[in-house]
Amino acid sequence: MTTLPAGLPVVVDRAGGTPLAAQISGQLEAAVTAGVLRAGDRLPSSRDLAATLGVSRTVVTNAYARLFAEGWLEGRHGSGTYVADVTTPSVSAPALGPGRESGLGSAPLNVTDAPERRRVPPGRPVTSADRVAAGDGTGGPDWRTAVHVRRPGLIDLQPGISWADGIEPAAWRRAWRQAGTHLPSRWPDPHGLPELRAEIAAYLRRSRGLAVTPAQVLVTQGVSSGLALLADALLAPGDKAGVEEPGYATGREVLRRAGAEVVTCRVDAHGIVPGELPGDLRLLYTTPAHQYPLGGRLPVSRRQALVAWARAAGAVVVEDDYDSEFRYDVGPLPALHSMDPDVIVYLGTASKVIATAFGAGWLVAPPALVDELAALRPRIGVRIPEPVQHAVLALLRSGDLERHVRKMRLEYARRRAALVEGLTHGDGDAVAPGADRVPFRLLGDTAGMHVVLELPAGYPAAWLVDAAAERGVAVYPLDRYFAGPPTMSGLVLGYGTATLPQVRRAAAALSRLLTRLQ
C-alpha cells in the first residue's frame, strides 16, 4: 500500500479488487467533495504522481481522464492540472450594469433562413412584439429545437439548447477521424449502419435498462425525424393524434402536416392524465420521464393506466425520452417502453447530449414496424448521413459519449442550482428580508436543462420578457407551448447554453424584476 506524501489523500492498494485508476480517481473525487482539495488547487503531473505512487503513468492518466470528463478537474494550457470549481454556487453575483460583461455563451449558431420574418436590429433588446413578428407566438416554432440566433449583449436563457462547448475537443476529433476512414456506401442501409444499431441497443440497455435488440432500432436524425416517419406510416388523413397540452409545438406541427387531426390532451403536475384520454386516438405523443415543458414525472400507476388505455384503444404511444440522461434528484424511472414494447415506440436523441445541431437519434419499435419505416425512407427521400452515423458509433465504442454525459450532468446541475437559488433567495441587495415578492413556483427543476417559473394568474409574463431583455437577459414565455388558450402564465428558463456566471447574473436580474412586479 502506497500513500502520497505532502498531504494529498491518495492511497493505492494492489491487493484490492478495485482497478488502480478507479482507486485514484475515486479518492480524488472524495477529497474534492469533502473540501480537502479546493477549487484552484494544483495536482501533480501524471508522471510525478505515477512515480510517487509506484504505478504506471497510464494508470494515473486514466484516472485524471475520468475526472476531467466528469468536470472535477480542469487543465490550464502550459500550466498543469487543477481542481475545478464544483461547489454549489452562491447567490451574491453582481447585477448587470455599465461595464459588466454580459456576453452569450458560445453555443453554435443555427440560423434557418426565413426571409418572410422580420429580423431584430443587432444590439437592440428583443421585445414581445419582435417575437410575435418573428412567428414564435402561440402555435409558432417551439424553442426546444427552434432557430437559435445569437443575440449580442444578451444572456440567453433559451430552453432546449445544449452546451456545445462542453464537448471534449480531443474526443470530438477522434470521432470524426474515425468517421473519415470510411468511404461512402454505394447504397446506404435505410435502417442505419448495422454496427451503430447494435451499439445503440447496448447503450440503451446500460443507460435506460431497455432490453432491445438491434432489429428493434432505427437510426434517425432526431425526435422530430422519428415522429414524422411514424406519422407517415401509421396515420391516414383525418386520423386523430393526441399531444400534450402544454407540450412540444414541433411535435404538434409534425402530426398536423401528416394530415392528422391533432387533439390536445391535458397534463397536470405529474404529466399526461390517462383517465381523460379519448378512445378514438390512433397515436399519442408524450414525454413521460420529464414532461415538456412543465417537468412532471409520470408515476407508475399512470404508466400502467396509459398502457391499458393504449391496448383498449388500439393506439400507439410514442414516448419521447429527450433528456433522461440529466436527472438531479433521483435516478430516472425505467422507460415507458419497457412496460409494453408492442404498443409503445421509444424515441431518443443525441442532440440534447452532444449538440443541438448534431442531428442524430434513434427509434425503438417492433422489428416489423422498424422494417416498414426503413422501407418508407427511400420513397420520401430521407437519408441519414453516414459520416454522422460513423461519428456517433465512434463516440459510443470509445465510451466518450457516456463520459460526456457524466460531465454534462455535473455541469448542468451546477447551473440549475445557481438558477434555482438565485430565484428563490434573491441576490442579497435587491430584496430586503421580509420584502414582498411575487409568489411563484418553480416546476421541473429536478431534471433536464430548463425550469418553468409559474406566475400567479393575472401577472404578465410579457412584461417580464420585455423588462428582462432591457436588463440584458433573454427569457421565453410559457404561453408558446399551448395550442389553445394558455391556462398558466410564466417563463421557461433554459440553462444549457448560458455559462455558470451568466446564469447567476440572470437569476439575480430576474429576482429583482419579480420584486418590482409585486
Residue 108 pLDDT greater than 70, yes or no: no
Q: What are 26-70's pLDDT values in tens digits? A: 888 888 877 788 888 888 988 889 888 889 988 898 888 778 755
Degrees to nearest 5, angle at CA 128 with 437 and 421: 35
Residue 111, pLDDT score? 25
**CA atoms of 24 and 29, how far apart (whole Å):** 9
Report CA 465 to chain centroid distance, whole Å. 23
Domain for residue 474, yes or no?
A: yes
Domain for residue 96, yes or no?
A: no
Q: How confident is the model at residue 284 (pLDDT cuts 50, 70, 90)?
A: very high
Degrees to nearest 5, angle at CA 447 with 442 and 449: 85
Q: How confident is the model at residue 332 (pLDDT cuts 50, 70, 90)?
A: low
State whether 197 and 231 are in the same domain.
yes
**CA atoms of 271 and 292, how far apart (whole Å):** 9
Q: How confident is the model at residue 76 (pLDDT cuts 50, 70, 90)?
A: low
Report the b/e string of 47-69 with b at 16+ CB within 10 A: eebbebbebeeebbebbbbbbbb
Q: How confident is the model at residue 102 (pLDDT cuts 50, 70, 90)?
A: very low
State whether 391 and 243 are in the same domain.
yes
Residue 357 pLDDT greater than 70, yes or no: yes
Domain for residue 242, yes or no?
A: yes
Q: What are 211-268's pLDDT values in tens digits? A: 999 999 999 999 999 999 999 999 999 999 999 999 999 999 999 999 999 999 999 9
Domain for residue 108, yes or no?
A: no
Domain for residue 253, yes or no?
A: yes
Residue 151, pLDDT score? 55
Q: What are 369-394's pLDDT values in tens digits? A: 999 999 999 888 888 899 999 999 99
**Looking at residues 277-300, what average pLDDT do you find?**
94
Instruction: Report the CATH number that the domain containing residue 280 is assigned in CATH.
Output: 3.40.640.10
For the chain, give the mean pLDDT: 81
Out of 83, 104, 137, a domain closes at: 83
State whether 190 and 261 are in the same domain.
yes
Residue 186 pLDDT greater than 50, yes or no: yes
Residue 70, pLDDT score? 56
State whether 293 and 423 are in the same domain.
no
Residues of the domain holding 411: 128-165+403-517
Residue 491 pLDDT greater than 50, yes or no: yes
Domain for residue 92, yes or no?
A: no
Q: Are 411 and 72 in contact (CB under 8 A)?
A: no
**Looking at residues 488-514, what average pLDDT do you find?**
93
Q: How confident is the model at residue 148 (pLDDT cuts 50, 70, 90)?
A: very low
State whether 160 and 274 are in the same domain.
no
Q: What are 168-181's pLDDT values in tens digits? A: 899 999 999 999 99
**What share of the chain has pLDDT > 90, as a percent?**
49
Q: What are 406-439's pLDDT values in tens digits? A: 898 899 999 999 999 999 874 433 333 344 566 7
Q: Are 26 and 16 in contact (CB under 8 A)?
A: no
State whether 322 and 203 are in the same domain.
yes
Cell of 291: 414532461
Highest mean pLDDT (candidates 8-12, 91-95, 128-132): 8-12
Name the H helices within 426-499. Answer: 461-470
Degrees to nearest 5, angle at CA 493 with 487 and 498: 165
Q: Are 57 and 50 in contact (CB under 8 A)?
A: yes
